[in-house]
Structure 1
Amino acid sequence: MRTNPSFALDQVDEVRRLIQEYPWVTLVSSTDAGELVASHYPVILDTAAADGEIVLLSHVGRPDEQLHELGAHEILVIVQGPHGYISPGWYDARPAVPTWNFVTAHLHGTPEILSDAENLRVLAALVDHFEDRMDEPRRMNGTPENADYAARIVAGTVGFRLRVTRFTAKDKMSQNKPAATVDRILAELDGDGPYASPALAARMRRARDSAAEPSAAE
């Protein structure tokens, strides 16, 4: 993915935050046969990872591990945050063209295949991660019956840990536009028009506020 300094996102903590907020990712592999294979799965961050590291935990359903040749090659993980259409009608009267604002991260690493026991623990952690927001969480091991069921279905999945060895991330949020233009874009995204997107507006505000903060070197 091509980036430029205006939109580069290189802070590990910000990429980790993006993964936490948008955990439904795309896995892309290039096989020995030269074929590209893509699948979609949720991921969580490995809380045991060291500071400054990005380590993902997830699983695939069989036989996706064979289609991806999982563990044999480096794979690409694409994380897509909020995005949306930006109309030139939201700018000033000068000639302009539309654009698309977005935040995304491309993560690279070679998956480590987990043992059945560790896969079961990761699946339980994955369920807990999402069920924690429910009023009455349904835990994978919440009852003996649930635990027995989980132990049976785990055979249909392959767990993996992916230690990210490099990443490229882009946070294109109209940082190259005048403040007055950004305010107009935010008003439209917060409105009720056909391209309203409160999530994108919130991300734009975060990018603007982050740019306004003094750097540690200052």
Structure 2
Amino acid sequence: MRNAPHHASDDPEVVRALVREHPWTTIVSNGPDGLVASHYPVLLDDSEELVALTHVGRPDEELHGLGAGAEVLLVFQGRHGYVSPSWYAPGASRAPTWNFTAVHAHGVPEVLDAEENLAVLTRLVAHFEQHVEDPLYLDQEWGRRAARGTVGLRIPIDRFTAKVKMSQDKDAQSVQNVIHALRSPGPYAHPDLAEDMERARATGLGYR
């Protein structure tokens, strides 16, 4: 990602928060036939270190060349949206832009054995099913059969690049105007993005 100090963060908690809220990731690797991208849900391990737990469906493990000790890139995307310069205070920048949160995380995948894979799949299902009215958790006998079509992965994150671009380089009035515009009716209304801007401002992330 572009180097922009106002928007960069080296805080692992920023990564944790983004993965918790937006656990759908893009896995990118340089496989045997070139660059490959796949999309899967991810949970973080409970350890103090940043460790991603996920799986791929067969034969994605062959397309990515997993198990060969090669690094993969995990791309996480948070809420994002267009920001019009017409919302800025008088005299501010006239350049349109896009506010967003994104993390690029790098690590070498460790392929899980059958029982470890089943445990990760069980946890994934429980994580998402808990929010529905009548959750259907993973039956272990059925899960063992289904798990044969997947490859479980544990990916310790060796390094990451995190960007939280929420108008930190703009004056206070312009920031407030953008928040108001995102909360108002219109083609670019995005109240959730406005909440992210408020959170970034409250935590001082990148603000001068």
What's the TM-score once normalised by structure 1's chain length? 0.90
Q: Is the 8 A contact 1:71 1:111 kept in 2?
A: yes
1:38 aligns with 2:37: yes
Aligned-partner Cα distance in 2 for 1:124–1:32: 31
Match of 1:88 in 2: 85
Partner letter of residue 88 of structure 2?
Y
Query: Identity percentage over the alignment?
Result: 50
**May I ask how many residue pairs the two structures share in their alignment?**
204
Q: Shift of residue 32 of structure 1? A: 4.1
Moved over 2 A (4+): 92-95
Pairs within 5 Å for 1:1-218? 1-33=1-33, 35-47=34-46, 49=47, 51=48, 53-72=49-68, 73-94=70-91, 96-141=94-139, 147-211=140-204
Q: Shift of residue 148 of structure 1? A: 2.7
Q: Write out per-residue CA displacement over residues 169-191 of structure 1, whole angstroms, 9 at most, x where no aligned residue.
A: 11110001111111110011111
Unaligned runs of 5+ in 2: none
Q: Is the 8 A contact 1:3 1:170 kept in 2?
A: no
Q: Shift of residue 40 of structure 1? A: 0.4
Q: Shift of residue 82 of structure 1? A: 0.6
What's the TM-score once normalised by structure 2's chain length? 0.94
RMSD between aligned residues: 1.5
Partner letter of residue 115 of structure 2?
A
Q: Write out per-residue CA displacement over residues 55-91 of structure 1, whole angstroms, 9 at most, x where no aligned residue.
A: 0101000000000001321000000001100011111
Q: Write out per-residue CA displacement over residues 151-202 of structure 1, whole angstroms, 9 at most, x where no aligned residue.
A: 2111100000000000011111000111111111001111121111112111
Match of 2:169, SS state, is coil
Match of 1:84, SS state, is strand
Q: Is the 8 A contact 2:71 2:107 kept in 1?
A: yes
Aligned-partner Cα distance in 2 for 1:162–1:204: 30
Match of 1:216 in 2: none
Q: Is the 8 A contact 2:14 2:162 kept in 1?
A: no
Aligned-partner Cα distance in 1 for 2:64–2:111: 12
Aligned-partner Cα distance in 1 for 2:170–2:64: 41
